[in-house]
């Protein structure tokens, strides 16, 4: 790589600058990125913090690209493991090239070692899948179920809670979610009341919370290909409970009723559910690869076998 282009860990974040550069890099001038989204995502969304590796043109001091490591805590049979998802990769068009990508990823690898992070994760779009494989050895680990359906409102629906929690505040969300905090015996990202409150503070989205006695659902109103849908972001089982199919139907019904959008979409894996909602999307209608990539920096140890991974666990939700 040219000595004038360097990679380093960003010590002070300028979210206005990052949003502006990302807007240029992704060609989104008609729909620019919001700086508040980056501030929330890197500082609050997953409560374990983030590291941003930047590319700098030393001739001008200008940031020309980046990749972010958003950190997670994963419960496994052997205890809590550290993981980091690689997100928000971009390089300005005039600076793109394989050598610069490799320098970015090499610096990311150094951070994995320095921070003792075991698992690298990726949920890239179709274009970025081979990039992660080639430059960071992130390999396909799970292809998430992508499902959908129609659930019209019901005259009677047996849910205990169904309410919008956008702007409800951390105390209310913590109170609602606390009974459904994830179990240490379930392999997956750790969620408790305070973590969920931070996750649902996304300034660009609206969220709903729905619960029966045994199961909770986080939902959000979205649009896909200009069709209004209810996105089912994550199901959470009350510890010790055994949810039934009727719990799932009741929660989906309450979510579609709250947002007045009977079409719904779910993506993920969840071994504690008796069934996943809806029906699988035909291959030609899958709008995203929904491939979870993984690299294990301690592959000599017990391999990761996730019980649960849903939209709530990455930035899609």
- pLDDT at residue number 2: 59
111: pLDDT confidence band, cut at 50, 70 and 90?
very high
What is the CATH code of the structural domain delimited by 5-143? Answer: 3.40.630.30
pLDDT, mean of residues 237-262: 96
pLDDT, mean of residues 208-221: 98
Is the pLDDT assigned to residue 273 strictly greater than 90? yes
- pLDDT at residue number 116: 97
For 127-162, the DSSP string reads THHHHHHHHH--EEEEE-EEEEEE----SS---SEE
Tally the C-alpha atoms within 13 A of residue 306's C-alpha that lie toward its C-beta: 22
- pLDDT at residue number 157: 76
Residues paired with residue 19 on neighbouring β-strands, in sequence order: none
Tens of pLDDT, residues 139-177: 999 999 999 999 988 767 789 999 999 999 999 999 999
The Cβ of residue 40 has, within 10 Å, a number of other Cβ atoms equal to 18
Q: Where in the chain is the domain with CATH 3.40.630.30?
A: 5-143
Residue 306 DSSP SS3: coil
Query: Are residues 275 and 248 in contact, defined by beta-carbon separation less than 8 angstroms?
Result: yes
Is the pLDDT assigned to residue 53 strictly greater than 90? yes
pLDDT, mean of residues 196-200: 97
Tens of pLDDT, residues 27-38: 999 999 999 999
With b for 16 or more beta-carbon neighbours within 10 A and e for fewer, the 95-129 pattern comes to eeeeebbebbbebbbeebeeeebbbbbbbbeeebb
Is the pLDDT assigned to residue 1 strictly greater than 60? no
Angle subtended at Cα 33 by Cα 135 and Cα 41, rounded to the nearest 5 degrees: 65
Please give the Cα distance from 146 to 148 (Å, whole number). Answer: 7
Query: Are residues 251 and 284 in contact, defined by beta-carbon separation less than 8 angstroms?
Result: no
62: pLDDT confidence band, cut at 50, 70 and 90?
very high
Instruction: Reply yes or no on domain 145-287 having CATH 3.30.70.
Output: no
Percent above pLDDT 70 for the chain: 99
Helices (H), 200-263: 245-259
- pLDDT at residue number 3: 62
Is the pLDDT assigned to residue 180 strictly greater than 80? yes
- pTM comes to 0.94
pLDDT, mean of residues 1-6: 75
- pLDDT at residue number 172: 97
Average pLDDT, the chain: 95
pLDDT, mean of residues 46-75: 95
Tens of pLDDT, residues 80-89: 999 999 999 9
- pLDDT at residue number 316: 85
Q: Give the chain's length.
A: 317
109: pLDDT confidence band, cut at 50, 70 and 90?
very high
Tens of pLDDT, residues 300-312: 999 999 999 999 9
């Amino acid at each position: 790589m040219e000595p004038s282009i360097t990679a380093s860990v960003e010590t002070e974040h300028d979210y206005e600058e990052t949003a502006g550069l990302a807007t240029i890099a992704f060609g989104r001038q008609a729909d620019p990125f919001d700086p508040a989204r980056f501030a929330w995502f890197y500082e609050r969304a997953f409560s374990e913090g983030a590291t941003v590796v930047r590319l700098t043109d030393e001739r001008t001091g200008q940031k020309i690209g980046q990749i972010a490591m958003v950190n997670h805590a994963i419960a496994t049979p052997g205890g809590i493991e550290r993981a980091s998802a690689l997100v928000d990769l971009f390089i300005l068009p005039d600076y793109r090239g394989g050598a610069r990508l490799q320098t970015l990823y090499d610096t990311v690898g150094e951070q994995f070692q320095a921070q003792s992070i075991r698992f690298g994760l990726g949920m890239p779009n179709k274009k970025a899948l081979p990039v992660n494989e080639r430059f960071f050895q992130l390999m396909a680990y799970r292809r998430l179920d992508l499902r959908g359906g129609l659930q019209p409102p019901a005259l009677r629906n047996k849910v205990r809670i169904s309410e919008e929690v956008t702007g409800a505040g951390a105390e209310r969300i913590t109170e609602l979610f606390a009974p459904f905090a994830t179990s240490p015996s379930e392999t997956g990202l750790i969620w408790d009341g305070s973590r969920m409150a931070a996750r649902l503070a996304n300034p660009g989205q609206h969220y709903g919370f729905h619960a029966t006695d045994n199961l909770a659902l986080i939902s959000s109103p979205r649009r896909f290909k200009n069709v209004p849908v209810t996105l089912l972001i994550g199901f959470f089982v009350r510890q010790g409970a055994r949810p039934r199919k009727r719990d799932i139907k009741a929660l989906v019904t309450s979510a579609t009723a709250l947002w007045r959008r009977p079409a719904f979409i779910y993506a993920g894996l969840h071994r504690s559910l008796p069934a996943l909602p809806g029906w699988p999307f035909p291959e030609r209608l899958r709008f995203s690869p929904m491939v979870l990539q993984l690299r294990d920096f301690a592959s000599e140890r017990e391999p990761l076998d996730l019980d649960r991974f849903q939209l709530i666990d990455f930035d899609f939700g």
